[in-house]
């Protein structure tokens, strides 16, 4: 069996994003963290089906100095304790840093693939922003766009548009995740 994974964006997919002026923002602390409805069930079902669950997240507020590494680490520790995640890969950089790990570049995915011996053609990316979808496409994964109607650039190409992680998991599990 191939080593397959579901790569998950954090804010807006796993936990509630704070939407201001039509744009999503991350929680500032564990106290603000709210795991979205259906996430735990979706992750347990995907895990039971043999998928590795990999959190991939841009957290540029660290690089911008508007949050701390410790705050983001505490949120990730809480999620790792509460959910059946296999690994967490995070980019702390802003666009100006031009790093390979910041989505839309596929660096977080390729790092996980290399470390965990995963096969991208058998894997999925689930995200709520164009950067997530573009990173997944560049890495060779099938993609799910969780569409919240943000007032920002939308992804140009994705395999499925859904309203939640649970919807994406149901497609992966029930229909085999094959694009129509």
Distance of alpha carbon 150 from the chain centroid: 16
Cα distance between residue 72 and residue 78, in whole Å: 10
Pick from 110, 98, 21, 108: nearest CA to 63 = 98
Per-residue pLDDT tens digits of the chain, which is 180 residues long: 469 999 999 999 999 999 999 999 999 999 999 999 999 999 999 999 999 999 999 999 999 999 999 999 999 999 999 999 999 999 999 988 999 999 999 999 999 999 999 999 999 999 999 999 999 999 999 999 999 999 999 999 999 999 999 999 999 998 765 555
11 in active site: yes
Helix count (H) and strand count (E) of the chain?
Answer: 6, 8
pLDDT score, position 95: 87
Question: Which residue matches tokens 């569409």?
Answer: 147
3-state secondary structure of 52: strand
145 close to 131: Cβ distance less than 8 angstroms: no
Pick from 146, 104, 107, 142: nearest CA to 123 = 142
Q: Which fold has domain 5-174?
A: Rossmann fold (3.40.50)
Distance of alpha carbon 85 from the chain centroid: 11
51 close to 4: Cβ distance less than 8 angstroms: yes
**Count of CB atoms situated within 10 Å of the CB of 174:** 8
* Domain boundaries defined on the chain: 5-174
């Amino acid at each position: 069996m191939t080593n397959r994974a579901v790569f998950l964006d954090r804010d807006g997919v796993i936990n509630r994003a704070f939407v201001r002026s039509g744009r999503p923002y991350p929680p500032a602390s564990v106290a603000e963290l709210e795991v979205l409805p259906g996430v735990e069930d979706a992750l347990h079902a995907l895990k039971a089906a043999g998928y590795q669950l990999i959190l991939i997240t841009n957290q540029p507020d660290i690089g911008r100095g508007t949050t701390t590494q410790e705050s983001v680490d505490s949120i990730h520790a809480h999620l790792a304790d509460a959910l059946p995640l296999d690994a967490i890969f995070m980019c702390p950089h802003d666009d100006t840093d031009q790093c390979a790990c910041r989505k839309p570049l596929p660096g977080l995915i390729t790092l996980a693939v290399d470390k965990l011996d995963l096969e991208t053609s058998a894997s999925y990316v689930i995200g709520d922003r164009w950067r997530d979808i573009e990173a997944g496409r560049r890495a060779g994964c099938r993609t799910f766009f969780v569409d919240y109607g943000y007032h920002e650039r939308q992804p140009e190409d994705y395999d499925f548009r859904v309203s939640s992680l649970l919807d994406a998991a149901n497609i992966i599990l029930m229909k085999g995740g094959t694009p129509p």
